[in-house]
Every structure is written in structure tokens, then in C-alpha cells.
Amino acid sequence: MIAQTKKNSHLPKLLVFLIITVCSLICMLVISAGTVLLLASAAGPAIIREYTKNIVSLPIESFPLEKVPESLPESLPESLPVSPTPVVNLTAPAAQANGTVRLPVLIYHQIAAIPPNIAPDYYVTPEVFNAQMQFLKDSGYRTLTPDQFYDIIRSGKNPTEKVILITLDDGFANNYQNAFPILRKYGFTATFALITDRMGIRSSQVKEMVAAGMVIASHTKSHGDLSKMTEDQLRTELADSKTILESVSGKKVDTIIYPGCAYNSNVVKIAQQSGYKMGFTCGGKIDNKPGAYFAWNRIHIYDNLENFKARLVGIANYPY
């Protein structure tokens, strides 16, 4: 009986001990959580700002060719040259000027996924490129080499069949990896404008492409602005790149594609003296004058199949 009473007298002490322990644990948890929240709110924005800064600055360095924006626009994506609403009316092609020959020349650059925060102008995804080539095939188009293009334009008459010249500028590795297999799939040929100082496509790959019917054009040695160069610089850019590319490809290189589409009469003179037969700029038109064979027009192609159809018939629904 005495023992029983003693045992029961310990109970309140035990309860008090348990309550104090539980309260202490809860207090510790609350203090810890508060500290973490306080640190996160103070340091968080700084970390996010630093992280975002790094992400935004990356694409500038990874996109060094062709009309690269000097700095990224203030707001994205509103300020990018987003494609306007297409006006697709294949029954009403653009009017053709007198004295011209109608034959489209397409310009592509990167055939790859469009990186985030990059103006999409110089990218066509492999999926859309495939869809565009499929459309050409289904529409009955046949692709030309620059020499075949030259003969048709110089004849002064519109071709009687659907023909087209496809060009890819800058020689990115993805031109070999992504564009080349798709072109082969449809039995098409294309002209690859390579920069000899920075060849994204390796020499062995160039040989493989040429063996499969692809054509190599010069896009100069350094991809500088030809319209601002001295005659000596022009000779180096035009003649040296021609010699190197003929050595790599094992074929005559008679086509010059002006970097950034910039040229003048001096550029044309040195190009002719260096042994080129024809030169291409941008121009944005599908019609060409037979006499302007060092200033032929090309149309820039974007990552969009419906606009592609409009561009093929000369409807200019893009800024360039």
C-alpha cells in the first residue's frame, strides 16, 4: 500500500518533465525554421539575380555569326523580330518585274533546336527543315547546283519546271549533322557556304557531302565585312578561301556568298579577278536579273512551314 502511494506520487513529476521536453522541442523547431526563412529572404534575390545574369549572358557568346544583336533586348520575347501573321495565298504569287527570271534561292543558317533567349532568325529546327523539304518534294521541286542556277538565270527565261537553289551559310557542324541527312532523304542537293578560318564541318565531312552531290561555296576566310576591306584584304579573303576550299573538297569553287550579304563594286571586281563565276547576297526576292550575276538575290528562311510556302512564291512577310 505504501509502495503504491510512492509510485503514484512520481506521476505529476513525470508529466511536467514530458511537457517541458515537448515544449523545448517545439521552440527549437520554430527558431530553426525562422532562421532559415530569414536567411532565404535576405540572400535569395541576390542568388537569383546572379543566376539569371549568367543565363542571359550565355547566348551572346554562343551566337557569333550573322547580324548578331549587340546586346540582348530589354524585354523578351516581345522585342524579338517575331514572325508576322503569314499571308499564305499560293494562287496569287508576287508580281514579277520585267527582265527578271523567277527562281528562288533559300538561305539557311543553323539547323538546330532554337536556344532560349535567342532571336530565332538564324535557326530552323530539324523538324521544320524536314517539313519544308518534304513540302518541296511533294510539290514537285528539284534542287539545283549554282552552275545549273547560273545557266537558267543567264538564259533570261523562267524555268518551265519547279526548281530551287538551297544555300546554308556559315558551315555550322549541325549543317552536316542535321541538314545533310534530311537533304539526302529527299534526294536534294544544297550549297554550303564555308568560312575557312572557322570550319564547323570537318574536312572529311566536306568530302563525304561533296561525294553525295552537295556543293561548296566560299563564305570567305574570316567572315568579315567585305565592303569595308582594302583590295589586299579582299584578295586574301576571296582568293585564299577559294584555294583552301578547292583543296578540301577536291572540286572547283566558283561561288562566293558575301558574309552579312555586304558587297560593293570593288568586292565584285576582286571576286571576278580571283576566279569566281557568281556571287550571292540577300535581297529578299525570288526574281533575278540575268546581268547581275555577282549580286543575285536570296530569301531568308525561318522556322515556320506556312511562311515558307508564302516566301516560295515571293510574298515577303518577313523583315529580310
Contacts to Zn ion by CB under 5 A: 66, 169-170, 259
**Helix, strand, coil % (nearest 5) of the chain?**
45, 15, 40
Nearer to Zn ion, 69 or 290 (CB): 69
Shortest separation between residue 56's beta carbon and Zn ion, angstroms: 24
String of DSSP letters for 25-79? HHHHHHHHHHHHHHHHHHHHHHHHHHHHHHHHHHHHHT--SSS--SS--SSTTTT
Nearer to Zn ion, 122 or 141 (CB): 122
Half-sphere exposure at residue 174, Cβ-oriented, CA atoms within 13 angstroms: 14
Burial call 249-279: b when 16+ CB within 10 Å, e when fewer = beeebbbbbbbbbebeeebbebbbebebbbb
Shortest separation between residue 219's beta carbon and Zn ion, angstroms: 5
Taking the C-alpha atoms of residue 193 and residue 295, their distance in angstroms, rounded to an integer, is 16
- Cα 130 vs. chain centroid, distance in angstroms? 15
Nearer to Zn ion, 65 or 248 (CB): 65
CA torsion 9-15-16-19 (nearest 10°) is: 180
Shortest separation between residue 169's beta carbon and Zn ion, angstroms: 4
Shortest separation between residue 268's beta carbon and Zn ion, angstroms: 18
Nearer to Zn ion, 66 or 208 (CB): 66
Nearer to Zn ion, 164 or 261 (CB): 261
Shortest separation between residue 104's beta carbon and Zn ion, angstroms: 19
